[in-house]
């Protein structure tokens, strides 16, 4: 993983801010492609349904400030957001558990546009070990620690069956990896210096099902 | 989509509750597989890092109450959670945009275990229209409205490029679909009676990158 020179200056942002930044980025990337030069927070606000005061506050965390009556310079905003979010640097990762979701992620080249480069897969199943998925070699999970000592990759994408989530996370952490992107619905326990990000796509399904049966009653957004 | 008899009795839950319910379900499913009969909220709490008072409160929304000193009956808890979350009913869906992520989801049979059945794909690219991905036929997006009149599917999974997100969502809504699972980083605008669930997996990447560079500073969880 490439380190940025500015790490030491980078504050821990409130998570809602980090979640909104990629929305701003998508929108200003579009404007940049259309060769739009400036954008106001009012315009971003209208487009994304986020209050303009919130946008100004979020961007001020990055030391980005608009000019009075002109707004933000689109191209620099794209660059600064990409740089801040880490999307323009390469981050190597491994997929642990090459079932349907794991394989799907190994084949999703969209992740590369956000700086994530999957370099290996790991599994317990003898019939997939040694095979390639989306061009990426699947290794025996038993070799994880040795492989990690050689390659020094920090991020593990966890897509094992839920009942294997904790024990596999323990293996990953013991191998020296420091970040787990957890796609299982299991709440992994890990030491404080290990980063855990939970992407519970199934929880979102529950939200859809629940809201679909209740759209007449009220709030339908998440 | 199959409707449940109890729709009219089902309240809109707070979203954090809906997000936690699948964690409880994963855990009690495991216990059920191990033939464990009862579980206390204290035990769930210890396992999942959620306060036991919160667990009791979340489950009380579903009219599930534990017995004093015995706790919750594991097997009924599984059934009631699955039933409430809609994971044991079939919900048909289409994938709009059969690029790498769309195809990945079409091939991810894991979604079926959560009640989601992908029945068709739609795209604009002539070279994929008429092809099958993960056994599922890809149609021309132009035929969406006609296809929808015939099949009456409610859920669209949106995996188009970000710059096509809004216009494609407009097409989906015009076709009569009522729920969009939005995997693009774009904030879609939609009428209030359309359910939108945003799964910004790229936002989670930003969180990982940000936290990895800052684990020494403080909170590393999301």
Choosing among A44, A199, A209, A213, which should be mutated to test the B contact, i.e. which has the most B CBs within 10 A? Answer: A209
Is the pLDDT score of B132 beyond 70? Answer: yes
Task: State pLDDT tens for residues B145-156.
Answer: 999 999 999 999
Average pLDDT of the residues in B148-165? 94
CA dist., res. B216 & res. B195, Å (int): 39
Choosing among B8, B201, B214, B217, which should be mutated to test the A contact, i.e. which has the most A CBs within 10 A? Answer: B201
Is the pLDDT score of A86 beyond 70? Answer: yes
Predicted local confidence at residue A214, as pLDDT: 62
CA dist., res. B179 & res. B166, Å (int): 14
Predicted local confidence at residue A28, as pLDDT: 93
CA dist., res. B73 & res. B66, Å (int): 8
Of A10, A22, A206, the CB nearest to B206: A22
Task: State pLDDT tens for residues A109-141.
Answer: 778 888 999 999 999 999 999 999 989 999 999
Is the pLDDT score of A153 beyond 70? Answer: yes
Pick the residue with more confidence: A10 or B66?
B66
Average pLDDT of the residues in B59-63? 88
Predicted local confidence at residue A168, as pLDDT: 97
Q: In a 3-state reduction of DSSP, which class is residue A37?
A: coil
Q: How confident is the model at residue B68 (pLDDT cuts 50, 70, 90)?
A: confident
Task: State pLDDT tens for residues B83-94.
Answer: 988 898 899 999
Average pLDDT of the residues in A17-38? 91
CA dist., res. A181 & res. B2, Å (int): 33
Q: Which residues pair with B92 in a beta bridge?
A: B117
Q: How confident is the model at residue A77 (pLDDT cuts 50, 70, 90)?
A: very high
pTM of the model: 0.79
CA dist., res. B132 & res. B119, Å (int): 11
Is the pLDDT score of A148 beyond 90? Answer: yes
Cβ count near B215 (within 10 Å): 16
Contact A178 B10 (CB under 8 A): no
Predicted local confidence at residue B178, as pLDDT: 95
Is the pLDDT score of B104 beyond 90? Answer: no
Least confident of A142-146, B193-197, B200-204, B207-211: B200-204
Q: Percent of chain B beyond pLDDT 70?
A: 91
Distance from CA of B192 to the nearest CA of A (A): 7
CA dist., res. A156 & res. A190, Å (int): 13
How many CA atoms are closer than 13 Å to the CA of B60, on its beta-carbon side? 8
ipTM: 0.79
Of B104, B209, B222, the CB nearest to A198: B222
Phi-psi bin for A74: left (phi > 0), alpha (psi -120 to 50), beta?
alpha
Cβ count near A219 (within 10 Å): 12
- On whether the CB atoms of residues A97 and A161 are closer than 8 A, the answer is yes
Q: Rounded to the nearest 10 degrees, how much is the dihedral formed by the CA atoms of A122, A126, A127, A128?
A: 10
Predicted local confidence at residue B218, as pLDDT: 37
């Amino acid at each position: 993983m490439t380190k940025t020179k500015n790490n030491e200056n980078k504050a821990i942002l409130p998570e809602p801010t980090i979640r909104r930044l990629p929305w701003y980025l998508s929108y200003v990337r579009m404007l940049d492609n259309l060769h739009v030069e400036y954008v106001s927070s009012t315009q971003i606000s209208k487009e994304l349904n986020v209050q303009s005061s919130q946008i100004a506050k979020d961007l001020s965390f990055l030391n980005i400030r608009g000019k009075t009556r002109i707004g933000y310079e689109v191209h620099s905003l794209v660059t600064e957001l990409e740089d801040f979010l880490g999307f323009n640097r390469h981050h190597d990762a491994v997929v642990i558990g090459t079932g349907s979701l794991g394989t799907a992620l190994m084949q999703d080249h969209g992740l590369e546009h956000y700086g994530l480069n999957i370099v290996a897969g790991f599994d317990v199943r003898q019939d997939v070990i040694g095979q390639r998925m989306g061009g990426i070699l699947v290794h025996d999970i038993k070799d994880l620690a040795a492989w990690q000592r050689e390659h020094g990759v920090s991020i593990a994408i966890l897509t094992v069956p839920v009942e294997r989530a904790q024990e596999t996370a323990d293996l990953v952490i013991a191998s020296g990896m420091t970040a787990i992107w957890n796609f299982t619905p299991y709440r992994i326990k890990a030491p404080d210096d290990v980063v855990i990000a939970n992407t519970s796509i199934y929880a979102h399904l529950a939200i859809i099902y629940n809201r679909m049966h209740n759209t007449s009653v009220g709030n339908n957004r998440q």
